[in-house]
Chains A and B, each alone.
Chain A
Amino acid sequence: GENVEQHPSTLSVQEGDSAVIKCTYSDSASNYFPWYKQELGKRPQLIIDIRSNVGEKKDQRIAVTLNKTAKHFSLHITETQPEDSAVYFCAASWSGGGADGLTFGKGTHLIIQP
């Protein structure tokens, strides 16, 4: 089955700086890669996703890049703000839109230092 590795496990950045979280996946058939933000005790919130037919997607301060050859994808957050502090999970699925269950990475605890 699919295996998703996520790094780093903890990331501390100064407010206003950029944060980058990286994930690798094992199944070359995977073609849907969402990123979720989870605050303590709450549900995961989809913040951005990318499908295998594109290499990059951007939504305001958030961007995701995908390298299918190397089987890795990354989340980029620019101009970080205190409310960006949370745990971020990457995930992968081999069907078009997560029509199959998602395989999650272990998560990155992002800490924004004021």
Chain B
Amino acid sequence: GAVVSQHPSWVICKSGTSVKIECRSLDFQATTMFWYRQFPKQSLMLMATSNEGSKATYEQGVEKDKFLINHASLTLSTLTVTSAHPEDSSFYICSALRAVEETQYFGPGTRLLVL
């Protein structure tokens, strides 16, 4: 199967600090990964598309300087929430595109709580 992991699974941080979340495709290579955000009892909202070896593409309304994305290898994308504030508290979920199947596989998510 296609397995995607995320680390950490949950994180609590103080307001003003930065948090890095890793997304890894464990058994396939992914030139494209995606980052979504899900607030409680709401749907998933696409934040950005992460492309290996190039700059990420951000959705309208998502601050690229606040949510830094790096896709340095074919199996790893990272999302860094800079200067986190309580309103950034959310469930962050990545997905990796398995090109041969043309299907996105989701990671288990990272729950971020900013105090």
Contact = CB atoms under 8 A, between A and B. Distances in A.
Contact of A106 (B32, B43, B99): B43
Contact of B43 (A1, A101, A105): A105
Interface centre among A36, A42, A45, A46 (most CB of B within 10 A): A46
B108 A100 contact: no
Interface string A58-98: 00000000000000000000000000000001000000111
A97 B103 contact: yes
Nearest to B105: A46
B89 to A, nearest CB: 15
Contacts of B102: 32, 96-99
Given A100-B49, A101-B49, A101-B59, A42 B108 contact: yes
Interface SS of chain B: helix, strand, loop or mixed?
strand
A102 interface: yes
Interface string B100-115: 0111111111010000
Contact of A98 (B59, B60, B104, B107): B104
A43 B44 contact: no
21 contacts: A34-B104, A41-B109, A43-B106, A43-B107, A43-B108, A43-B109, A46-B105, A49-B103, A89-B43, A89-B44, A97-B101, A97-B102, A99-B99, A101-B46, A101-B49, A102-B34, A102-B46, A102-B104, A103-B46, A105-B43, A106-B42
Nearest 9 A-B pairs (CB), nearest first?
A97-B102, A101-B46, A43-B106, A98-B104, A104-B43, A104-B44, A43-B108, A106-B43, A101-B34
Given A42-B108, A97-B104, A107-B43, 15 more contacts: A34-B104, A36-B106, A43-B106, A45-B106, A46-B103, A49-B103, A97-B97, A97-B99, A99-B32, A99-B97, A99-B102, A101-B49, A102-B46, A104-B45, A105-B43
